[in-house]
Amino acid sequence: MRELTYLEAVREAMSQEMRQNEDVFILGEDIGVYGGAFGVTRGMIEEFGPERIRNTPISEAAISGTAVGAALTGMRPILELQFSDFMTIAMDNMVNQAAKIRYMYGGKGKVPMVLRTPAGSGTGAAAQHSQSLEAWMAHVPGLKVVQPSTAYDAKGLLKAAIDEDNPVIFYEHKLCYKTKSDVPEELYSIPLGQADIKRQGSDVTIVATAIMVHKSLEAALELEKEGISVEVIDPRTLVPLDTDTIIESVKKTSRLVVVHEAVKRGGFGGEIASVIAESEAFDYLDAPIKRLGGKAVPIPYNPELEKSAIPSVEDIVAAVKETLNHR
């Protein structure tokens, strides 16, 4: 099977979907000839033209409002925000409008739209372009939240998100864009709410999201040298969340470490820990649940400080050992 980068997989999913469904179009800043802030839509305007690859003014409020209106009238817009930090400007349309309309009108109106946006740190983009705010969106009833970590997952989950009749927030970690994996040429769908066990293990369960999946797999390889078997679970979607896979894994390993890049305080790791605390898996725990997340600071511009603000492979290795050594 051929390999694609994560970025290419996202582009391919959109292109294939647009070829078979004329209701799908993309709107956002600089997505035409320039190809978007990270080049995800590069070349698409040549195939689909400016009517379906729509450059917009620099106004996330206007872009998101247009997408909500288009979705209500039967289109399936894909909205690109250049950085997930700009969600704050689109917040009213997403939280107060898109998320609620279907419920407020008794199902007579639906909002089938996808908001794609790059998130996370690691590119030196500093405090206003490097945040991980997915827990905000996961808190809002009516929104679905997707966080793929691999090219294969990105293509399949984006197809599912475009087909979804409810608004979906699709987070693409910037450091994942250049990562590669096997990706089928045909268009395929991965159901929202289906976690993936990226690595089987028996001693400790790690639940990790986005770029932290890759760091956790690297940590698992290090720990394997010491005879420690780590299971790594990627939820892939925060809403809906595949709780069954996480619970069954913890029942098997009796230990849980949750890793995400977003600030630990109020982060989604607390939700995953609560799922275990409220389930039958709680009785299987041999150690307290360990959460790793970003420090409660704005992401620094300085590269070394930027690295120190989020969990490292060494942090994950240490957390797993601490969990195993609990008495």
CB 230 within 8 A of CB 204: yes
Local structure of 78: helix, strand or coil: strand
E-assigned strand segments in the chain: 3-5, 24-28, 53-55, 76-80, 114-119, 144-146, 168-173, 180-182, 196-199, 204-208, 230-234, 237-239, 256-263, 290-294
Tokens of 191: 């159901």
How many angstroms from the chain centroid is the CA of residue 156?
Answer: 13
300 upstream amide cis, omega within 30 of 0: no
Identify the CA nearest to 155 among candidates 118, 113, 194, 189: 189
Tokens of 79: 């909205």
Q: What are the backbone dihedrals phi and psi of residue 144, each rounded to the nearest 5 degrees, phi first?
A: -105, 145
Write down the catalytic residue from 129, 173, 214, 260.
Answer: 129
d(CA 201, CA 7): 30
> What is the CA angle 60-65-68, rounded to 5?
125
129 is known as an active-site residue: yes
Identify the CA nearest to 273 among candidates 240, 239, 243: 243
Q: What residues are annotated to the active site?
A: 129
